[in-house]
Structure 1
Amino acid sequence: MTPPTGSRPTMIDEYLAALEDPARTRLAELQNLVREELPEATEAIKWGSPAFVHPRGTILLAISAHKAHANFTVTPSAKEAFADELEGLETGKGSVKLPYDTPMPEDLLRRMARHRLAEFEQDGVNWM
């Protein structure tokens, strides 16, 4: 996926370019979703994974590519806020596994991203 006309490629764009499909497509979908929900966040590579960083420097969330799935990772508290809706999905400490061969729960992920932003800005919850 190419960046919008007139924009410079980000580190995440370079990360995506090195991936093969279906990982590249899924991570590009996640990147676009997060860009829409967290437009003020900057993009960076943290611990080898694409991360979205608040203007004050705190990581809001990260995404990553794996063999059979992508991960969407927020704080454990942000993940727990959606525990009921995450039933049926495999999760980790703050991550949600998104298998490449199943539809992405886009609405849920959008709400999780917005929740993570509010959790940081209103409650001061930092990254793990």
Structure 2
Amino acid sequence: MKKYNDIADYMADLPKMQRAVAQIMRELLADAAPEAQETFSYNMPALKQNGKVLVYFAATQKHLGFYPTPAQIEAFAEQLKDFHTSKGTIQIPYDRPLPVKLIRQIVAFRIAEVKGK
């Protein structure tokens, strides 16, 4: 697997459809966490706030991977029942629209967690 140093290089190498979905996710996350800074970690785009990573995302062949912390997956388990999840991953198939409202809720929950609220 190719190693990337920044989000622009990562996005440029994605196939057109995957790039389009990843760009929508990137813009959604930037809007949901306006105080966060984009970063690149574990070879994935991520958002960082108050020195802590909020969430990661990555385009795979069959789905967009969204990586909040396990606490968010547990807290939103009922809303995530239609998605394949694991301890720290939510898989969003490309043939389904991004669950915008849910993603915003998960990010808000994580921001509150990082701020200690």
Say which SS state the counterpart of residue 64 (structure 1) adopts: strand
Count, aligned residues: 113
Write the distance in 2 (CA, Å) between the matches of 1:117 and 1:14: 27
Match of 1:45 in 2: 40
Q: 1:21 aligns with which of 10, 16, 23?
A: 16
Unaligned runs of 5+ in 2: 1-5
Kindly state the Cα deviation for residue 14 of structure 1 after the two structures are TM-superposed: 2.6
Say which SS state the counterpart of residue 84 (structure 2) adopts: coil
Q: Which amino acid in structure 1 is aligned with residue 85 of structure 2?
A: T
Query: Is residue 2:109 matched to residue 1:120?
Result: no
Output the aligned Cα RMSD.
1.4
Task: Select the structure that is richer in strand.
Answer: 2
Write the distance in 2 (CA, Å) between the matches of 1:21 and 1:95: 23
Q: What per-residue deviation string (whole Å, max 9, x for no partner) do you get for residues 59-92 of structure 1?
A: 1100001111011111100111110000111011
Query: Is residue 2:89 matched to residue 1:89?
Result: no
Q: Which amino acid in structure 1 is aligned with residue 74 of structure 2?
A: E
Unaligned runs of 5+ in 1: 1-10, 124-128
Write the distance in 1 (CA, Å) between the matches of 2:35 and 2:8: 17
Kindly state the Cα deviation for residue 101 of structure 1 after the two structures are TM-superposed: 1.2
Q: TM-score, normalised by structure 1?
A: 0.83
Q: TM-score, normalised by structure 2?
A: 0.90
1:78, 1:119 within 8 Å by CA — same for their partners in 2?
no
1:70, 1:99 within 8 Å by CA — same for their partners in 2?
yes
Over the matched positions of the two proteins, sequence identity in percent amounts to 33
Write the distance in 2 (CA, Å) between the matches of 1:90 and 1:60: 20
Kindly state the Cα deviation for residue 13 of structure 1 after the two structures are TM-superposed: 2.7
Q: Give the 4+ runs in structure 1 shifted more than 6 A.
A: none
Q: 2:63 aligns with which of 69, 93, 107?
A: 69
